[in-house]
Structure 1
Amino acid sequence: MKRRDFLARAAAVASAGFGLANLRSDGHGFTNSALAANEGSIEKASLEQKFAEFALSIKYEVLPADVIASAKRVLLDTLGCAFGSVGSEPANIAETTIRKTFGEGNTATVIGYARPATVEGALFVNGVLVRSLDLNDTYIGTEPLHPSEVLPTALALCEENGRSGRDLIEAIVVGYEASTRVNDAISFVERGFHPLCAAAYGIPLIAGKIWGLPKEAIANAVGISGARGFTSFVVNSGAISMMKAMGLAATAADGVFATRLAAQGFTGPSGTLEWLASKMKPVKEGFAVDLEVARYRLPRVAFKRFPIQIELQAVAEAGTLLSAKIGGRTQDIRAITVETYPGIIERVADPAKFRPQTKGTADHSLPVCLAMALLDGDVTVDQFEKDRWRARDVMELVSKTSVRPGASLIAKIPKGRGASIVIAFADGQSLHETVEVPEGDAERPLSRASLDRKFMNFAVPVVGMSGAERVMSLVNGLEELKDVRELTRALGGTGKQNPG
């Protein structure tokens, strides 16, 4: 582009401002002259265009029934996770800070809190709430991803724009499908980045679809967001800090800002994913993202029974089963041997996980989570909040635990997340338990009764029994809602668990 043309484009963008004032009140019009004048004239890499076309092609009327049902399941599960974090230190810090960063606003609900916020403020706090407990859903492509962290963006934007329940379902599907398909296509962890980087491609598609932007604007938003959306995997390394909870929330706020810029004609780079695949080792030959609409990933998302890393679900389940058999003999345990998958060992049984210093490290620690399951018969949020993981009896079992690759597990289910545990007692006796597929896995789905119970356990302390039942009812009938604000109005609270 010539310098003169660039300056003219920049002037047009600046005069338009950063808002979305040029959209009609229904959000579907787009009259920005800077973009309209160049519609169709800007050459874009095919992938950005295909992402935009993909988002615009998702229509409620043609979604399969199982995809719609899955969207409502993940929404209920995600709201439950958010309620469970209300009043936590990370959430309270975020809720206070957004008003200094994004300004005061009343367009979007902060889940479990009394004061609404701007869209960016609400989606940031709600993102922290969703992730804090480490109990939200997981998709396994090239690596574990938590796609439910895109839901706060869909919810806040639909609320701001008065969209329907069907619009929200479309936005959820778009965000989930784009993020999971990127996750299928390339490993960010292999290149030193966090898997949440995949959402940098889903967020602008959500915003662009809800705002009714044209293909060219959405493609530019994807380019801007994708180029900026690289988060280092150091977030999940060593002593895990509170940043674990805000990684994708920050990416989401940035992605919405990128879409606001693109809506006013701001252009973005092309080929951000291709650059990653070709320039950063390991080089990925034949890189492509599957954007065939019919091959939905959403029904394949896994839910968590325990508030710990997804690859620890089988370990915790096996531990709870063994706990009932051990009885009061934990003092007689001589050694604990765990067999699982090499990649899992690398992520949850590295040296730092045997001596965790933070809650965020403890809920990613195989030996710690197993020890609590064996001693207490469960792994719960309360254990982490009350520092149960620091207790002497827990650390004693941790010191007796060794972890190694499980040849039989790998041979039977090469890409599984199972675990096999052997407990040896001082008198020579032993106990053994294997969980090949944990409860909540896509191959062994969490039952509806278990999902409802999980939601109610976290929602009732924040909004009461009647409030929790109302939220559940609204989610179950989401496709019938004319305005999502009927749901979001039911999500507020006092910022505390069990107020009064």
Structure 2
Amino acid sequence: METFMERREFLVRTATAVSATLLLESFRSDRYHFVGSVLAAGNGDGQKATLEQRFADFALAIRYEVLPAEVITSVKRVLLDTLGCAFGSVGSEPANIAETTIRKTFGDGNTATVIGYPRPATIEGALFVNGVLVRSLDMNDTYIGTEPLHPSEVIPAALALCEEQGRSGRDLIEAMVVGYEASMRVNDAISFIERGFHPLCAASYGIPLIAGKVWGLPKRALANAVGISGARGFTSFAVNSGAISMMKAMGLAATAADGVFATRLAAQGFTGPSGTLEWLASKMKPPKEEFAVDLELARYRLPRVAFKRFPVQIELQAVAEAGVLLAARIKGRAQDIRAITVETYPGIIERVADPPKFRPQTKGTADHSLPVCLAMALVDGDVTVSQFEHDRWRDLDVMALVDKTSVKPGESLIAKLPRGRGASVEIVLADGQSARETVEVPEGDALRPLARASLERKFMNFAVPVVGKAAGERVMSLVDGIEDLSNVQELTQELKGMGKQDPS
């Protein structure tokens, strides 16, 4: 039989829960109704704020009005570059499979644009396909913290959410900054690769902050969303190991869809854990003492993002550039090359010059292969998307140079730029002549930024076959003035297409 004390305890708990629910139900965000949460997300009574709560405070504090001009300019550059990369992948096999599959998985919604395709989709469906599009070419931007991260893969989530909500261009800027900065700061704080996971795991903390920011959720819901998403966001580094499959293109896209779902749950009162990053730092080898994430607003990372000139892994940009320079010097004599020696950094060698990279079996492995990318640069004088699309990397003349390539640590590079991504390439010809090119900082690096003209050319080369020249130019203009858009839909309506077309 129920005792008096048990009955009293039940009534107290029920009254407390009802009061909290009624209080929270009185709050209504701009577009998303927040029901309530039982997470002790408040840090009253002297309770120290959890990292999830600090992330929520960080997201809520980012406002367009206080962003430095340098950060806003960087947002426009990464947005244009990212849209270009997405256009470049329209019609590819991974994108077509994803575009077909989302209808069966997320339904036939019509709230968000699928870049380059005529039919809209649900938020999760659109951000998934657009995420695959952004990543497929391996030409999207890169941030180097503890390891390479592609923060531009959070843009599809920000774009789809803002489009569905009819948000302004300034809202989109805020959402992008939140997603970029949170993901990059996690990347600065801990190495996922060392623990067997993919760096994209960092975005599991940025995505829910984007969604919560766009939906106008309060701190408590944001903290819950980060907890749920962070606990689920562990992707194995097997994605980028050995023979690289199509999954490379969908890793963060899947994390983004899951992060939005986590935020939907949190908005309805679903609670999440705290301490997910601290758990990773302390429980997974190598343990990291004094773990902390820098959430100081003034120290923005966005201006330090690097862009790619070539459609290859970020650590191969210098190798490809050196190969192009050498090709110009030997003027079509690649068949006379007797030996190739590459000097670069040990970590880079481990990732892009391991044994499987000398005999790649997939496109995803080829564009992460130092010897293959260098060989194509030497033979063809460039490294392009077309080479990978048409399996140029399989050809006998390319593989002949791969067999002549050796790679070793570059002591002088390491001494001068300990954390660099440069490379030095020496070739020896059959007549005994030799030539060397050293690229300490590749074009597109934050220390050697991609020129505006180069960025525009890269974008238009990818956009014109999908939407035509006029629409491509309109997109560039809209991105340049993104802060003046009253509704992001003015931009997204220009991103639709009918698949790859002839340039016009």
Residue in structure 2 matched with residue 295 of structure 1 by the alignment: 299
1:425 pairs with 2:435: no
Query: For the residues of structure 1 that align with 2:347 and 2:149, how far apart are their CA atoms?
Result: 15
1:162 pairs with 2:166: yes
Question: Is the partner of 1:490 in helix, strand or coil?
Answer: coil
* Cα drift, residue 328 of structure 1: 2.8
Contact 2:113 2:160 in 1 (8 A): yes
* Cα drift, residue 428 of structure 1: 1.4
Counterpart residue identity of residue 146, structure 1: H
User: Deviation string for 1:226-259 (max 9, x for gaps)?
Assistant: 0000000000000000000000000000000000
Query: For the residues of structure 2 that align with 1:295 and 1:129, how far apart are their CA atoms?
Result: 30
* Cα drift, residue 41 of structure 1: 8.1
* Cα drift, residue 427 of structure 1: 1.7
Query: For the residues of structure 2 that align with 1:440 and 1:245, how far apart are their CA atoms?
Result: 22
Alignment size in residue pairs? 489
Residue in structure 1 matched with residue 241 of structure 2 by the alignment: 237
- CA 1:436–1:38 in structure 2 vs 1: closer, same or farther (change >3 Å)? closer
- CA 1:481–1:22 in structure 2 vs 1: closer, same or farther (change >3 Å)? farther
Contact 1:305 1:439 in 2 (8 A): yes
Contact 1:45 1:270 in 2 (8 A): no
* Cα drift, residue 111 of structure 1: 0.2
* Cα drift, residue 495 of structure 1: 2.3
* Cα drift, residue 331 of structure 1: 1.9
Question: Is the partner of 2:425 in helix, strand or coil?
Answer: strand
Query: For the residues of structure 2 that align with 1:333 and 1:380, how far apart are their CA atoms?
Result: 22
1:315 pairs with 2:296: no
User: Deviation string for 1:342-370 (max 9, x for gaps)?
Assistant: 00000000000000000000000000000
Selected match of 1:189 from 169, 188, 193: 193
Selected match of 2:267 from 243, 263, 266: 263
Residue in structure 2 matched with residue 62 of structure 1 by the alignment: 66
Contact 2:146 2:190 in 1 (8 A): yes
Selected match of 1:215 from 175, 199, 219: 219
Selected match of 1:178 from 175, 182, 203: 182
Query: For the residues of structure 1 that align with 2:341 and 2:380, how far apart are their CA atoms?
Result: 19
User: Deviation string for 1:141-166 (max 9, x for gaps)?
Assistant: 00000000000000000000000000
Query: For the residues of structure 1 that align with 2:387 and 2:428, how far apart are their CA atoms?
Result: 25
Q: What does residue range 348-363 of structure 1 map to in structure 2 within 5 Å?
A: 348-363=352-367
Residue in structure 1 matched with residue 140 of structure 2 by the alignment: 136
Contact 1:239 1:360 in 2 (8 A): yes
User: TM-score with structure 2 length normalisation?
Assistant: 0.93
Query: For the residues of structure 1 that align with 2:48 and 2:106, how far apart are their CA atoms?
Result: 32
- CA 1:39–1:394 in structure 2 vs 1: closer, same or farther (change >3 Å)? closer
Q: What does residue range 25-36 of structure 1 map to in structure 2 within 5 Å?
A: 26-27=30-31, 30-32=33-35, 34-35=36-37
Counterpart residue identity of residue 95, structure 1: E
Residue in structure 2 matched with residue 380 of structure 1 by the alignment: 384
Contact 2:39 2:224 in 1 (8 A): no
* Cα drift, residue 373 of structure 1: 0.3
* Cα drift, residue 329 of structure 1: 1.9
User: TM-score with structure 1 length normalisation?
Assistant: 0.94
Selected match of 1:416 from 415, 420, 437: 420
1:123 pairs with 2:127: yes
Residue in structure 1 matched with residue 106 of structure 2 by the alignment: 102
Query: For the residues of structure 2 that align with 1:179 and 1:255, how far apart are their CA atoms?
Result: 13
Question: Is the partner of 1:320 in helix, strand or coil?
Answer: helix
Query: For the residues of structure 2 that align with 1:114 and 1:4, how far apart are their CA atoms?
Result: 55
Query: For the residues of structure 2 that align with 1:111 and 1:278, how far apart are their CA atoms?
Result: 41
Query: For the residues of structure 2 that align with 1:455 and 1:44, how far apart are their CA atoms?
Result: 46
* Cα drift, residue 326 of structure 1: 1.1
- CA 1:71–1:106 in structure 2 vs 1: closer, same or farther (change >3 Å)? same
* Cα drift, residue 497 of structure 1: 3.7
Counterpart residue identity of residue 440, structure 1: G
* Cα drift, residue 46 of structure 1: 1.7
1:458 pairs with 2:462: yes
Query: For the residues of structure 1 that align with 2:40 and 2:278, how far apart are their CA atoms?
Result: 24
- CA 1:398–1:59 in structure 2 vs 1: closer, same or farther (change >3 Å)? same
* Cα drift, residue 140 of structure 1: 0.1
Question: Is the partner of 1:35 in helix, strand or coil?
Answer: coil
Query: For the residues of structure 2 that align with 1:128 and 1:91, how far apart are their CA atoms?
Result: 6
* Cα drift, residue 499 of structure 1: 8.2
- Percent identity between matched residues is 80
1:272 pairs with 2:276: yes
Question: Is the partner of 1:491 in helix, strand or coil?
Answer: coil
Residue in structure 1 matched with residue 401 of structure 2 by the alignment: 397
* Cα drift, residue 40 of structure 1: 3.3
- Root mean square deviation of aligned Cα: 2.3
